[in-house]
Amino acid sequence: MGEEGKPSSSLPDTQFFGLLSNLLQQVESLTNQEEVELRAKIEALGLEVTKVPSKSTKILDELELASELDKLSAKLDNVDEMISSAMAADPQVISLLSDTADVWMPVITATSDEREIFAASVEDIDKVEEKGFN
C-alpha cells in the first residue's frame, strides 16, 4: 500500500498529475494567462484516476436472499399459470410450443455462461441484419 491507504499503483498517477500541474503553472507564468478551466480539468481527472473504487453493492443476508427468491418464484408461478391457461384455451399453443421447443428450451435451461454466448450470437445476428445481409 502507498501513502494513507491508497494503493501503491496510484503513486505514479499522483506524480503524473503533479507534473501536469507544474507544467501548466510554467505555461501560465510564461504566457501571463491563468488557465482556470484547464487546471480544473486536470485536477478533476487526477481525482477520478486516483480515487479508490467503492465497495461492491450491498450483500444480501439470508432473509433478504430468501425474500428475493420468493419473489422470483412467484413470478415463475405466474408465467407457468399463463402458459398453462393459454395451452388449455388454444390447442395451437401446445403445437406451437412443441414445434419450437428446440429454440426456446435451450435458452430457458442454459447456464449463465451459455446465456452470455447466446446473447453475443444474437447481437451478431442483429448487426448483420442492420447491414442488410439477411
3, pLDDT greater than 60? no
Contact 68, 61 (CB under 8 A): no
Question: What rounded mean pLDDT belongs to the chain?
Answer: 75
Per-residue pLDDT, 6: 45
Q: Give the pLDDT band of residue 132 (cuts 50, 70, 90).
A: low
112-130 and 101-109 helices, crossing angle to 10°: 130
Contact 19, 47 (CB under 8 A): no
105, pLDDT greater than 60? yes
Burial class (CB in 10 A: 0-12, 13-18, 19+), 30: exposed
Decide: helix, strand or coil at residue 6. coil
pTM for the whole thing? 0.34
Residues making up the chain, counted from first to last: 134
Mean pLDDT of 15-25: 81
What do you get for the CA distance between the two ends of the chain, in Å? Answer: 55
Mean pLDDT of 79-87: 80
Q: Give the pLDDT band of residue 116 (cuts 50, 70, 90).
A: confident
- The lowest-confidence range among 40-49, 66-75, 108-117 is 108-117
